[in-house]
């Protein structure tokens, strides 16, 4: 087993429960088709086990669990069941046509804290131990691998929890899961509990039975608790994509992967995770959820590799490791951005201009100070490409005047959006089943480009009785066989105008780049 003084790197098994616990998050339930698609994408990320759902919760859930089992994925497939005979037998039936029986996992769940045993099951500890023993043995006869999840384990009596673990191991459990159901245990407490169980249960210490942890984020400690448990010797971590789950969610898959990659020497574990496949999973997940969550979220958040402070911009340009411990760009979900606003410095300004002009515009110290003074006087909290191009044109650093004016008219009828955009007396129309697709067609027609939205995030809010919003866009521009990715945003406008302004930033960036190439 790994210990805090161990020199041996151990394998950490990853169980992803996005399709079960994530699906239970209020307001984020997935359709059967979405769950099947997500299962394939999660499988591509290299997790060891995918928890497909709770078959006995509904006929639809039973059906989709069976479909996922038959999808011939690489990972083990688990389904959750209560410790009831009929539920166990019914849940086992979803595996009747599995291609490889060794990939089937029955994940039983039973409460073990005094309050949950009393309130939910009206049973004594002795009765729970009896049910536990019978359930694990029954499931083991039907399915090769049985994991037993102890609900509310972190609030259970330690002696009783130890007895539950010993009973499960003796009955043939493949894994025992310690659930911090209320998300209330501290990172200083959970390792102590893990070490106690490893000392008490020989099957844990020799790794014949996997000791797993499942942490909730009610106190914002799910990731910290999971990492602390892994350091103490836990052999499996249960996670969800983006931390989606009941109430405040669970340990986020991407954040656990990032920390283990950054601090591998400390945790001394390895996984089979493949971060190069994360981007497609998260883009699909965010589209299904209708949100990409907080821009401040590690790894996936819009701001996770954005830099506005002049001191930070200077450090990043000189050596990215001065402010970045482990590049999140390698996960393919965010791109490095130098933000220009009242906090910015010359280094950030020069980096943006260099990227825009392919190094063709070289500013002197005096010129940079001049532009920076004007940028700091602007009311925007982020100066976009169009505003910067306008300043460069105003001071004759570029010869092409950017497109700074335009209007958008929208209509919606019979499930179809109609959009008309105009700029400098030119007009174009577009139609589509979404506002974004219709606007994209219109802009591409107007400017003879091939711009495609990758992700669009819109946040609406009220301030002083005024509706306001912030739009963030990743867009790709295709030219022949080449592709460029742009990260652009707009604030304080309605959705259609904000999206148009974002696209205008892409148009101006591309037109400036092309004009410079022609003059070289």
Q: What integer pLDDT is reported at residue 253 of this predicted model? A: 99
Judged on CB neighbours under 10 Å (0-12, 13-18, 19+), 399 is exposed
Domains in the chain: boundaries: 12-289, 306-394, 407-519
Q: Give Cα 43 distance to the centre of its chain.
A: 15
Tens of pLDDT, residues 204-247: 999 999 999 999 999 999 999 999 999 999 999 999 999 999 99
Token duo for residue 95: 């595996």
Question: How far apart (Å, rounded) are the C-alpha atoms in residues 77 and 104?
Answer: 5
pLDDT(122) > 90: yes
The β-bridge relationship of strands 10-11 and 269-270 is parallel
Q: How far apart are CA 6 and CA 3, in angstroms?
A: 5
Average pLDDT over every residue of 92-101: 91
Average pLDDT over residues 173-177: 99
Residues 6 or more apart whose Cβ sits within 8 Å of residue 321: none
Cα radius of gyration (the chain): 27
Q: Is the dihedral of CA 78, 82, 87, 89 positive or negative?
A: positive
What does the alpha-carbon distance between residue 377 and residue 439 come to, in Å, rounded to a whole number? 32
Residue 225 CA to residue 189 CA, distance in Å, equals: 9
Q: Which CATH architecture has domain 407-519?
A: 2-Layer Sandwich (3.30)
Report whether pLDDT(520) > 80: no
**For the chain, counts of helices (H) and of strands (E):** 18, 18
**What is the residue-averaged pLDDT of the chain?**
94
- Cα(371)–Cα(259) distance, integer angstroms: 39
pLDDT tens for 378-421 read 887 889 999 999 999 999 999 989 988 778 889 998 889 999 98
d(Cα 261, Cα 88) in Å, to the nearest integer? 38
Confidence of residue 29 (pLDDT cuts 50, 70, 90): very high
Under the banding of pLDDT at 50, 70 and 90, the label for residue 3 is very low
The pLDDT assigned to 414 comes to: 84
Residue 325 above 70 pLDDT?
Answer: yes
Percentage above 90 pLDDT, the chain: 82
Comparing 35-44, 275-284, 477-486, which segment has the lowest mean pLDDT? 477-486
pLDDT tens-digit profile of 355-378?
998 888 989 999 999 999 999 998
The average pLDDT across 253-276 equals 97
pLDDT at 103: 95
Give the C-alpha distances (Å, rounded to integers) separating 480 from 106, 305, 358, 420, 450.
50, 29, 19, 27, 10
Would you place residue 98 in the very low, low, confident or very high pLDDT band (cuts 50, 70, 90)?
confident
Residue 365 tokens, joined = 């110290």
Rounded Cα distance between 8 and 247, Å, is 37
- The pLDDT value recorded for residue 7 is 62
Q: How many angstroms separate the Cα of 402 from the Cα of each of 262, 393, 505?
A: 42, 8, 9
State the Cα–Cα distance between residues 63 and 51, nearest whole angstrom: 14
CA 349 to chain centre: 30
Q: How far is CA 10 from CA 6, 40, 79, 120, 272, in A?
A: 10, 27, 26, 37, 12
**For 195-199, 376-380, 428-432, which range has the lowest pLDDT when averaged over its residues?**
376-380
Q: What are phi and psi of 491, to 5 degrees?
A: -135, 150
pLDDT at 67 over 90: yes
pLDDT at 87: 99
Provide the CATH number for the domain formed by 12-289 in this structure. 3.20.20.70
Least-confidence region, from 80-94, 147-161, 430-444: 430-444
Surface-to-core class of residue 408, CB atoms within 10 Å of its CB (0-12 exposed, 13-18 middle, 19+ buried): buried
Three-state SS for 48?
A: coil
Tell me: pLDDT of 5 over 60. no
Give the pLDDT mean for 471-488: 93
Place of tokens 């109430």: 247
- Average pLDDT (90-95) is 98
pLDDT at residue 20 above 90?
A: yes
DSSP state of 252: B
């Amino acid at each position: 087993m790994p210990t805090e003084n161990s020199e041996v790197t151990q394998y950490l098994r990853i169980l992803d429960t996005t399709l079960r616990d994530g699906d239970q998050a209020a307001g984020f339930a997935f359709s059967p088709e979405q769950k099947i698609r997500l299962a394939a994408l999660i499988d591509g990320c290299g997790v060891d086990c995918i928890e497909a759902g709770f078959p006995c919760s509904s006929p639809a859930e039973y059906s989709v669990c069976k479909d996922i089992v038959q999808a011939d994925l690489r990972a083990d497939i688990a389904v959750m069941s209560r410790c009831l005979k009929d539920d166990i037998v019914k849940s086992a039936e979803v595996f009747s046509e599995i291609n490889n029986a060794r990939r089937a996992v029955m994940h039983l769940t039973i409460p073990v804290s005094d309050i949950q045993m009393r309130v939910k099951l009206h049973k004594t500890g002795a009765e729970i131990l009896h049910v536990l023993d019978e359930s694990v043995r029954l499931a083991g006869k039907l399915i090769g691998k049985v994991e037993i999840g102890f609900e509310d384990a972190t609030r259970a009596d330690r002696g009783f929890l130890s007895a539950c673990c010993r009973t499960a191991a003796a009955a043939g459990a493949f894994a025992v899961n310690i659930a911090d159901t209320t998300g209330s245990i501290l990172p200083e407490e959970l390792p102590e509990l893990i070490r106690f169980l490893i000392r008490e249960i020989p099957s844990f210490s020799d790794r014949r039975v996997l000791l797993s942890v499942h942490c909730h984020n009610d106190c914002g400690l799910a990731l910290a608790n999971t990492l602390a448990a892994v350091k103490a010797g836990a052999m499996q971590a249960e996670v969800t994509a983006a931390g989606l789950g009941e109430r405040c969610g669970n340990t986020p898959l991407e954040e656990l992967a990032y920390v283990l990659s950054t601090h591998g020497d400390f945790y001394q574990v390895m996984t089979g995770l493949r971060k190069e496949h994360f981007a497609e999973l998260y883009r699909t997940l965010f589209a299904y959820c209708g949100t990409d969550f907080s821009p401040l979220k590690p790894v996936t958040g819009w701001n996770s590799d954005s830099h506005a402070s002049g001191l930070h911009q200077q450090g990043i340009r000189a050596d990215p490791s001065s402010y970045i411990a482990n590049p999140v760009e390698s996960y393919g979900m965010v791109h490095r951005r130098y933000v220009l606003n009242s906090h910015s410095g010359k280094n950030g300004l020069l980096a943006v201009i260099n990227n825009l002009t392919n190094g063709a515009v070289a500013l002197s110290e005096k010129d940079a100070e001049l532009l920076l003074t004007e940028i700091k006087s602007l009311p925007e909290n982020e100066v976009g490409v169009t505003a910067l191009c306008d300043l460069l044109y105003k001071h004759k650093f570029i010869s092409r005047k950017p497109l700074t004016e335009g209007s958008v008219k929208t209509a919606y009828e019979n499930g179809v959006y109609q959009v008309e955009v105009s700029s400098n007396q030119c007009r174009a129309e577009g139609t589509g089943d979404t506002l974004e697709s219709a606007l994209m067609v219109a802009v591409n027609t107007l400017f003879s480009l091939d711009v495609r939205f990758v992700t669009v995030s819109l946040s609406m809010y009220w301030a002083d009785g005024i509706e306001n919003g912030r739009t963030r866009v990743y867009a790709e521009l295709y030219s022949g066989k080449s592709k460029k990715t742009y990260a652009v945003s707009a604030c304080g406008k309605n959705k259609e105008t904000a999206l148009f302004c974002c696209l205008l930033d892409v148009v101006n960036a591309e037109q400036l780049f092309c004009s410079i190439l022609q003059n070289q």
